[in-house]
Structure 1
C-alpha cells in the first residue's frame, strides 16, 4: 500500500544536515554565531550556493534563520533544495536505524520518492 506524505521540515539533526550538504556538494556545516545582514544567529550554519549569508539552523528548536533580502542575496529555491536534501537524508537515517531498506528515485518534477521496506538496510 502506498502513502503520500508531505512534511513541514524542522531541522534538528546535525548528521542529516551534514549529509544534506554532502548530497548537494556544499561545504560542511559549522557550529557558531553567524552574522546575517543586521542580526546574528547562533546554531549550525550552512553556506548555500550563491547566498551572501549562511542559513542558520537552531537544532534545539528546529528554527531556520536566514536573510536573503527577498531573493537579492540568495534564491529561495536553494534553501528549498537544501531542505529537501535534509528531509531525504533524515528519513534514510531513521529508516535504516529501524532496519528498513531504502530505495530512492528522482522524479521528473524535481521531487524525490523514497520507498521503504522491511529488511536489510540498503
Structure 2
C-alpha cells in the first residue's frame, strides 16, 4: 500500500544533522555560540556553501537561526537542500529504528522519493 506524506521539519536530531552534512559534503556541524550579523545564536552550526554566516540549529526548540540578508549573503536554495537532506536522514533513522527497510530514489525535479517497507509490505 502506498501513502504520500508531507513532513514539516523541525531540526532536533544531531545525528541527522551530521548525516545531512555528510550527504551534502558540508563540513561537520560544530556546537557553540556564533555571531550572526547583528545578533548571536547558540546551537549546532552548519556552514552552507557560499553563505556568509552559518545556519544555527537549536535542537531543543527545533528552530533555525540564520542571517542571509534576504539571499544576498547566501542562496535560500542551499538552506532548502540542507532541510531536505535532514528530513530524509531523520525519516531514514526513525524507520530503521523500527526495523523497516528504506529505499531512496532521486527524482528529476530535485525531490527525493523514500519508500519505507515494513516486514508486512509486499
Q: What TM-score range do you get, normalising by the shorter chain?
A: over 0.9
Matched, 1:117 2:106: no
The residue number in structure 2 matching 1:46 is 46
Unaligned residue ranges in structure 2 (runs of 5+): none
In the aligned structure 2, how far is the partner of 1:76 from the partner of 1:6? 20
Unaligned residue ranges in structure 1 (runs of 5+): none
In the aligned structure 2, how far is the partner of 1:8 from the partner of 1:65? 17
Count of residues in Structure 1 that have an aligned counterpart in Structure 2: 119
In the aligned structure 2, how far is the partner of 1:36 from the partner of 1:105? 36
| Deviation sequence 1:36-73 (CA, Å, 0-9, x none) | 00000000100001100000010000011100000000
Provide the TM-score with structure 2 as the length reference.
0.96
Matched, 1:26 2:26: yes
> Which residues of 2 match residues 80-99 of structure 1 at below 5 A?
80-99=80-99
- Cα RMSD of the aligned pairs, angstroms, is 0.6
Q: Secondary structure at the match of 1:25?
A: coil
> Which residues of 2 match residues 57-68 of structure 1 at below 5 A?
57-68=57-68
